[in-house]
Amino acid sequence: MSWAALAWGGIDWTIFLVAVPVLLVSLVVHELAHGFVADLLGDDTARIAGRLSLNPLRHLDPFGSLVLLLTLVGSQGHFAFGWARPVPVDPSHFRSPRHGMMLVAAAGPGSNLGLALLAALAVRVAAPVSDVIAGVALLVFVMNLILALINVLPVPPLDGSRIVGGLLPRSAYGCWQGLDRYQMPLLLGLLAVVYLFPGVLSAYLEPVLRQATRLLLPPEFWLV
């Protein structure tokens, strides 16, 4: 499942008009990756449901999208939270449900990392030619890195919880999976921490973003 939780210093309506479609497309790609990997592993549930599609209407959750817009505008750009409609997956079709779900889960943030790498290449190509194109590519780069970092947190129902579950010994998997029954309180607790203490999120995200820009982007685009 793809979740977005982003933080900015203040709203810039030009950036806002670009950021919202970038974020929505990134969420769609994230969900499509889940379904595609599940299909490769033998679960055709997403394909039968028509979810192996780039059509955003097949993936967007109306309420999740509305929450995204309301939190972004309501907080004057300091915070945004939203989600896409989860792709249906039946782990009983996998040879190993535990490891199958781990791979399906990892595909979501993995797709965002792939988009970030493509965006980094676009920044390098566009920088000498167009500041506008390079700026949009930089936004795609940063937002997809943030999406990947948020979704690998080991908190149900985020993808990180499935990834951790696949790495745990079989004897511990049942206990870990049992946390799913508390996924909404856990998620709301995480949301409350992010909203009330944005410095916690920044302390997690900023060092990775800073290092990633230094590694992949020209110096003029480094985050300091």
> What is the spatial distance between Cα 40 and Cα 86, in angstroms, rounded to a whole number?
18
Catalytic residue among 5, 24, 31, 84: 31
> Is the bond preceding residue 157 a cis peptide, omega within 30 degrees?
yes
Phi, psi of 67, rounded to the nearest 5 degrees: -60, -40
What are phi and psi for residue 51, nearest 5 degrees?
A: -95, -5
Tokens (6 digits) for 84:
């896409």
Active site residue 220: no
Q: Please, which residues have CB within 8 angstroms of residue 188's CB and are 6 or more apart in sequence?
A: none
Query: What angle in degrees, to the nearest 10, is found between the helix axes of 159-167 and 97-126?
Result: 130
Q: Name residues whose C-beta falls within 8 Å of residue 14's C-beta, 6 or more positions apart in sequence.
A: none
What helix, strand, coil percent values describe the chain, rounded to 5? 70, 5, 25
Annotated catalytic sites, by residue? 31
